[in-house]
Amino acid sequence: MTDNKVEEFVGRRGRGWNIVAYVVLSLASAIAIFPLIWLGMTAFKDRITAFALPPVWIFTPTFESFKVLIGFRHMELFMLNSAIVALGSTGFSIGVGVFCAYALARFRFRGRESIAFWILSNRMIPPLALALPLFILFQKFHWLDTRRGLIFLYTAMQLPFVVWILRGYFEDIPYELEEAAMVDGDSWFSAFRKVTLPLAGPAIAATAIFVLILSWNEFPFALILTGATSRTMPPAAVTFMVESNIHWNEIGAACLFIALPMVVFVMIVQKQFVRGLTMGMVRE
Amino acid sequence: MAFILRKRNAKRQEEKAAGGGFYRSGFFPWLLMMPTLAVLGLIGLFPFGYAIYLAGRKLILSKMYLPNPFVGLANFQFLMQDPTFIHALFITLVITLEAVFIEFWLGLGLATLAQRNIRGKGFFRVCLLVPMAITPVVTGLMWRFMLYPGAGLIPYYGKQLANLFGRETFPELLSVNYALQTIVAVDVWQWTPFMFLIFLAGLASIPPEPYEAARIDGASPWFIFRSVTLPLLRPMILIAILIRTMDAFRIFDKVFVLTSGGPGDATETLAYYLYRSGFKFFHASRGAAIALIALVIIVGFSFLFVKLLRKEAVIR
């Protein structure tokens, strides 16, 4: 079907336009991936080659910057913080959000659409708008510079996303299967666990990866609400820039640590990416 | 590959939820939603109310022991007369409009090319996914490194290129005159793929019939694009623009890393100004007032857009 259409659209001028497409897309792809490659190269240079002009393209890789990062700048601590916060908030927001999404997808009750819209509207608020009240709130609860504070905050931040996207997936699963299980004498929960949850499994996994990426990447709140003990990677990388008299090879290595896992994850959820980005508004 | 908008028509909603009596229970769904609503109430609703409270007072974070008197709309009045605020608002609007505009056309163009039946399509798709996958802070750092005067490769090769064309100098891209455009360019680098992917999905979902009809009528490619492709892509276009605008309007990470709002205040966006007022000068009330103004603008915009979206026909 797609072939037909393309042929149709291309018409007789096909060949020429295909060459244009190749050239433009290759160029765009090169621009898209070059900075990451350059970053990777910088991470394996020593301090002098990283700064050298003209830019050095061929060099002997060293692990100097990684040694400094782990031995001297305690990056392993920030990595651990990032991992705990990202995994924790992913776990909580999925664990809590699944039920809400399910309720909004399956049940018929008054005010359903209003609740759904209210949940979404939480996502429209620019995060920095809540920064000051949250700062004061965290201060009162003694949550400043703790991982649990950040986990709780990220859980709340990602919930609208989780609920909206999973709601769409649950709607795609026919309720009849679940109903049949209940007729057979299962309780609601065991029907949900045995029938619906396995069917939604891949969707939930993809959503979890999305949440993981969003939490891992978060910057403004991590900057404001964490200090030395609970700092996550993104604000830590920025402080390297200030502290270290700009050793670009170290910053490059830190950036590589932050960015690479996420690139891998994005490649895993490629198929669900459009749906995820639009919070389920566009289904592929 | 049919796609549907999440906001589908009322009839389908009826069907979906029309299962047995169990799914009509009035109490059970609230039980299931309770934890979510509680968390969102605490982190969404409560701080929001507190922000309104703060905006009407004079509270300074570094001097919490001082009384914080009620000052009415004085904070808003101050902002309206504050040239820095007006400037930040202007900068934010420029970045948002410019970035979304360029990303839209670039993304649409690339998607139109990539939907051709060419080999290696999957490879191009994966390459174009990369910028979106990169943490915004890392994006900022990476480009700052490449643009760094005296060490980056862009000024270096840029100068060589300029010399080639007989010019002496290459503009310093992080200086007063160019910093804003540089931020826009970096944003375009990161988010054009977003538009690209959405439009690629949208183009794939358009059925072949309208194209056949248009061809039989002897329509030109440009005419087909304007009168078949664009209208059928409309819901996608609206969603993509809505989401990108919401995000671009609160741009902070890249500004923080690339320019810190500088040089001077050349790239100070609303979010950065808010950060500076609240967390550098500890003027919590003023920060809250800025936040509320930003919120009104963005919610107003989203509301208009969602209304537009609801009017759109559901495409299957």
Angle subtended by helix axes B179-204 and B121-133, to nearest 10: 140
Q: What is the CATH number of the domain that holds B198?
A: 1.10.3720.10
**Is residue B38 included in any domain, yes or no?**
no
Q: Check residue A131 and give its pLDDT.
A: 83
More confident residue, B62 or B239: B239
Q: What's the pLDDT tens digit per position in B124-153?
A: 888 888 898 898 999 999 998 898 887 788
Of B92-96, B221-225, B250-254, highest mean pLDDT:
B92-96
Q: What's the pLDDT tens digit per position in B177-206?
A: 889 999 999 999 999 999 998 898 888 888
One domain, residues A113 and A88:
yes
**Is residue B35 included in any domain, yes or no?**
no
pTM attached to this predicted model: 0.85
Cα A89 to Cα A153: distance, rounded to the nearest angstrom: 8
Which one of B36, B146, B197 has the shortest CB-CB distance to A274? Answer: B197
One domain, residues A248 and A180:
yes
Mean pLDDT of residues grouped by 10 in chain A (284 residues)? 50 66 91 92 85 81 82 85 94 94 87 84 78 85 88 91 88 82 82 86 88 90 87 87 74 89 85 76 68
Q: Check residue B305 and give its pLDDT.
A: 79
Asked if pLDDT for residue B46 goes beyond 70, the answer is: yes
Q: Check residue A28 and give its pLDDT.
A: 93
Task: Tokens for B149, please give them.
Answer: 């005067």
Radius of gyration in angstroms for the set of CA atoms belonging to chain B, rounded to a whole number: 24
Give how far B33 is from chain A: nearest CA, Å: 4
**Is residue A214 included in any domain, yes or no?**
yes
The DSSP-derived string for A13-54 is: GHHHHHHHHHHHHHHHHHHHHHHHHHHHHHHTS-HHHHH-SS
Q: Is A187 on the interface with B (CB under 8 A)?
A: no
ipTM of the assembly?
Answer: 0.85
**Is residue B19 included in any domain, yes or no?**
no
Cβ pair A252, A266 in contact under 8 A:
no
More confident residue, B10 or A230: A230
Chain A (45-84) residues lying within 8 Å, Cβ to Cβ, of chain B: 50-51, 53-55
Q: Check residue A1 and give its pLDDT.
A: 43
Number of domains in chain A: 2
Number of domains in chain B: 1
Place of tokens 């692990």: A63
Kindly list the residues from chain B whose CB atom is less than 8 angstroms away from the CB atom of residue A220: 252-253, 271, 275
Q: Check residue A86 and give its pLDDT.
A: 94
CA B184 to chain CA centroid, Å, is: 12
Kindly list the residues from chain A whose CB atom is less than 8 angstroms away from the CB atom of residue B240: 278
pLDDT tier for residue B8 given thresholds of 50, 70 and 90: very low
Percent of chain B whose pLDDT exceeds 90 = 16
What residues contact residue B119 under an 8 Å CB cut-off, 6+ apart? none
One domain, residues A44 and A105:
no
Q: Check residue B224 and give its pLDDT.
A: 83
pLDDT tier for residue B5 given thresholds of 50, 70 and 90: very low
pLDDT tier for residue B93 given thresholds of 50, 70 and 90: very high
Q: Check residue A89 and give its pLDDT.
A: 95
Q: Check residue B148 and give its pLDDT.
A: 84
One domain, residues A163 and A273:
yes
- Answer with the one of A45, A63, A81 that is the final residue of a domain: A63
Asked if pLDDT for residue B239 goes beyond 60, the answer is: yes
- Cβ of B40 and A122 within 8 Å? yes
- One-letter amino acid at A77 equals L
**Is residue B83 included in any domain, yes or no?**
yes
- One-letter amino acid at A15 equals R
Kindly list the residues from chain A whose CB atom is less than 8 angstroms away from the CB atom of residue B1: 284
CB atoms under 10 Å from CB of A150, counted, come to: 29
**Is residue B148 included in any domain, yes or no?**
yes
Bridge partners (DSSP) of residue B57 are B70
Judged on CB neighbours under 10 Å (0-12, 13-18, 19+), A245 is: exposed
Q: What is the CATH number of the domain that holds A138?
A: 1.10.3720.10
- Cβ of A133 and B50 within 8 Å? yes
Give how far B1 is from chain A: nearest CA, Å: 7
**Is residue B282 included in any domain, yes or no?**
yes
Kindly list the residues from chain A whose CB atom is less than 8 angstroms away from the CB atom of residue B256: 219, 223, 238
DSSP B56: T
CA angle, A233 then A236 then A242, to 5°: 150
Chain B (276-295) residues lying within 8 Å, Cβ to Cβ, of chain A: 278-279, 284, 287-288, 291-292, 294-295
**Is residue B225 included in any domain, yes or no?**
yes
Asked if pLDDT for residue B163 goes beyond 70, the answer is: yes
- Cβ of B246 and A281 within 8 Å? no
**Is residue B291 included in any domain, yes or no?**
yes
- Cβ of B156 and A164 within 8 Å? no
- Answer with the one of A63, A98, A115 that is the final residue of a domain: A63
Q: Is A43 on the interface with B (CB under 8 A)?
A: no
Residue B7, CA atoms < 13 Å, CB-side half-sphere = 19
Asked if pLDDT for residue B315 goes beyond 70, the answer is: no
Percent of chain B whose pLDDT exceeds 70 = 91
Cα B260 to Cα A50: distance, rounded to the nearest angstrom: 23
- Answer with the one of A63, A87, A103 that is the final residue of a domain: A63
CA angle, B127 then B132 then B138, to 5°: 110
Q: Is B191 on the interface with A (CB under 8 A)?
A: no
Q: Check residue B9 and give its pLDDT.
A: 42
Asked if pLDDT for residue B89 goes beyond 60, the answer is: yes
Bridge partners (DSSP) of residue A282 are B5
- Cβ of A133 and B288 within 8 Å? yes
CA-wise closest residue to A274 among B78, B199, B16: B199
More confident residue, B14 or B175: B175
Give how far B177 is from chain A: nearest CA, Å: 24
Which one of B16, B143, B198 has the shortest CB-CB distance to A35? Answer: B143
Domain around B89: 58-311
Kindly list the residues from chain A whose CB atom is less than 8 angstroms away from the CB atom of residue B274: 128-129, 131
Domain around A14: 2-63
* Average per-residue pLDDT for chain B: 82
Q: Check residue B7 and give its pLDDT.
A: 42
- Cβ of A258 and B274 within 8 Å? no
More confident residue, B264 or A162: A162
Cα B229 to Cα B208: distance, rounded to the nearest angstrom: 11
- Helix, strand, or coil here: B60? strand
Chain B (119-138) residues lying within 8 Å, Cβ to Cβ, of chain A: 123-138
One domain, residues A32 and A71:
no
